[in-house]
């Protein structure tokens, strides 16, 4: 049988590929290593969970671009048509346009996108576009320079805003921006971020705070539910619902009436969408994760480097997809946070 189908009847169409676990930012919801992040969590939590000790792996530990392209070719042959290149920060790895070109040339790839914090986008943007990258998504959690630094641990807002403008000039479309909303940190900027999306004709996606931080300090009280975000946006703007592209889409969408731009809300905590999930992830060191919150990883690198044939790898992928979890367990008493952070997993 052709296709990657799990035991719940979900067909895998989306492959998200982390090409590095390194990042030049220290975002509070991923690698909160700054004093500002520590202060925030001390104020918000009375518990002191054991943090995740992130071990930076040597570059030789990562899959090569040729290995990644081979995996994509085999996955596309089984019906995958959306490829997301992530990190860490993917533009910290050398020659990313080379990988983009290899993937863009594969027949069957309908959507090839890259997610970045934008800091190094300027030096790679034209080459990425020429190589065949169709879309880019930026992470923008605050429009206030001081709050931006508190959230990311870096002064990078100016570079990020310039990157968004450059992406528009180069024709990347639709232009998407992600904002993780955290109670008492940047929830006061929801309306400002919405206004930015309207004024700049962007797709602004508001994402609930998920338990993937290395500090293991996540608490449900930090989450601003999607319903609350929507109510505030609807109070500030005239929004019209947008029909979902397909049942597996992660965001519920609204466009600004009489104007440009739109907002989307992604609710993995308050309103999980696991039943329609069509995604798997490939980590930089060659592990397949069948869920963002998987407690088990499947070692693909050993097959790639042991002389396995294309057919053997495809059959292995099919067997892994059959083990895809029915759902995650965020907020439940038996929930266990993965041993790797978002930086190591890939968003």
> How wide is the angle at C-alpha 244 spanned by C-alphas 142 and 162, nearest 5°?
30
Note the pTM of the prediction, 2 decimals. 0.90
What pLDDT band is residue 219 in, cutting at 50, 70 and 90? confident
Q: Which CATH number applies to 14-177+275-345: 3.20.20.70, 3.30.70.2190, 3.40.50.300, 3.40.1210.10?
A: 3.20.20.70
According to the model, what pLDDT value does residue 295 have? 78
Q: Which of 49-58, 113-122, 192-201, 225-234 has the lowest mean pLDDT?
A: 49-58
For residue 72, which of 82, 62, 59, 60 has the smallest C-alpha distance?
Answer: 82
Residue 221 in contact with residue 180, Cβ under 8 Å?
no
Where in the chain are the domains?
A: 14-177+275-345
In 206-337, where does DSSP find H-type helix? 226-236, 301-304, 310-321
- pLDDT tens-digit map of 66-97: 999 999 999 999 999 999 999 989 999 999 99
Summarize pLDDT for 15-51 with one digit per residue, the tens: 999 999 888 988 877 776 655 555 665 555 555 555 5
Query: Measured on CA atoms in the order 309, 310, 311, 317, is the torsion positive or negative?
Result: positive
């Amino acid at each position: 049988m052709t296709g990657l189908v799990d035991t719940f009847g979900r067909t895998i169409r989306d492959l998200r590929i982390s090409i590095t676990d390194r990042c030049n930012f220290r975002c509070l919801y991923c690698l909160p290593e700054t004093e500002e992040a520590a202060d925030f969590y001390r104020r918000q939590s009375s518990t002191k969970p054991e943090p995740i000790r992130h071990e930076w792996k040597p570059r030789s530990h990562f899959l090569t671009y040729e290995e990644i392209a081979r995996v994509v070719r085999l996955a596309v042959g089984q019906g995958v048509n959306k490829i997301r290149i992530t990190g860490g920060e993917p533009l910290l790895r050398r020659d990313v346009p080379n990988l983009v070109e290899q993937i863009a040339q594969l027949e069957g790839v309908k959507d090839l996108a890259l997610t970045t914090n934008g800091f190094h986008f300027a030096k790679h943007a034209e080459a990425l576009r020429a190589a065949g990258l169709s879309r880019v998504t930026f992470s923008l959690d605050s429009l206030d320079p001081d709050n931006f630094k508190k959230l990311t641990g870096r002064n990078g807002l100016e570079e990020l805003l310039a990157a968004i403008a450059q992406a528009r000039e180069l024709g990347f479309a639709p232009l998407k921006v992600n904002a993780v909303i955290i109670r008492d940190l940047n929830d006061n900027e929801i309306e400002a971020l919405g206004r930015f999306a309207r004024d700049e004709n962007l797709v602004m996606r508001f994402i609930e705070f998920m338990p993937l931080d290395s500090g293991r300090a996540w608490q449900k009280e930090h989450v601003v539910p999607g319903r609350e975000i929507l109510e505030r946006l609807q109070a500030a703007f005239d929004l019209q619902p947008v029909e979902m592209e397909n049942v597996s889409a992660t965001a519920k969408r609204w466009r600004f009436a009489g104007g440009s731009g739109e907002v989307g809300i992604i609710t993995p905590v308050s309103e999980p969408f696991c039943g329609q999930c069509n995604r798997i992830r490939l980590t930089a060191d060659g592990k397949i994760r069948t869920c963002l919150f998987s407690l088990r990883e499947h070692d693909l690198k050993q097959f790639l480097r042991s002389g396995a044939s294309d057919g053997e790898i495809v059959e292995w992928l099919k067997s892994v997809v059959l083990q895809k979890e029915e759902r995650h367990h965020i907020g439940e008493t038996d929930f266990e946070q993965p041993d790797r952070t978002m930086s190591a997993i890939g968003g």
